[in-house]
Amino acid sequence: MEKLIDLESVKLILKERLKPKRYLHSIGVSNTSVRLAKLYGVCEKKAEIAGILHDYARNLSHDELSQYINEFKIATDEVIDTQVDLAHGLIGAELVKNKFNIEDEDILNAIRYHTTGRKHMSKLEKIIYLADYIEPNRKAAEVEKIRSIALYDLNKAVLMALDNCIKYVIKKGLLLHNNSILARNSLILERISVKT
Ligand SMILES: [Fe+2]
Ligand SMILES: [Fe+2]
């Protein structure tokens, strides 16, 4: 259980930091994450904190993101070096760790990997990834269908959201991060092992 973190003051800081639309999105992700946490037996407080803070670094410019990559000695690769926006999760986790004294690695990892996903995501990581896709302000592909599947099959809903993100990346001609491929394979293998 994460120790005393005053969510009201976190919200005030976020409201200053993020554009109004991004702030509302963060509130939406937090509320959706709490609902999913309740459904899938995850600590609701952790989901609320990770949800509200997942886009903490989303307001940073490319230059600022690059500076933080150096400052925090974040390991990058050619995909992140080329599409530095992808680092907002990795950097956001470091920033909130220092700013709000968040030590819970599950919360930090949920923030870190919400952009790409990764192999063997924890339930909290999956919840934040999914909530980012289906929160009420989102109008993404198949979002209604995924919202309803999210109510009874977490892995299937995360896989569908991930597949749609991968399709988007391909359609846009962008680089696909290895972690997204690993996340996808890992989810499919988990689903196979549950069925057998
Ligand atoms: Fe994000
Ligand atoms: Fe987001």
The reply to whether 127 falls in a domain is yes
The reply to whether 70 falls in a domain is yes
Task: Kindly identify the ligand whose nearest atom is closest to the C-alpha of 92.
Answer: 1
CA 188 to ligand 1 center in whole angstroms: 23
CB contact at 8 A, 133 and 143: yes
Task: Kindly identify the ligand whose nearest atom is closest to the C-alpha of 115.
Answer: 1
CA 195 to ligand 1 center in whole angstroms: 32
Task: Kindly identify the ligand whose nearest atom is closest to the C-alpha of 135.
Answer: 2
The reply to whether 2 falls in a domain is no
CATH number of the domain where residue 179 is located: 1.10.3210.10
Q: What is the pLDDT of residues 118-130, one digit of tens each?
A: 999 999 999 999 9
The reply to whether 59 falls in a domain is yes
Q: What is the pLDDT of residues 163-193, one digit of tens each?
A: 999 999 999 999 999 999 999 999 999 989 8
User: Mean pLDDT over all residues of the chain?
Assistant: 96
Distances, alpha carbon 91 to alpha carbons 53, 57, 58, 59, 116, in Å: 12, 6, 9, 11, 13
Q: Determine the pLDDT at residue 5.
A: 85
- Separation between Cα atoms, residue 72 and residue 172, nearest integer Å: 30
The reply to whether 183 falls in a domain is yes
Share of the chain above pLDDT 70, in %: 97
Q: Determine the pLDDT at residue 194.
A: 81
pLDDT at 1 over 70: no
Q: Determine the pLDDT at residue 3.
A: 57
Q: Residue 40: give the domain boundaries.
A: 7-195
The reply to whether 155 falls in a domain is yes
Total structural domains in the chain? 1
The reply to whether 176 falls in a domain is yes
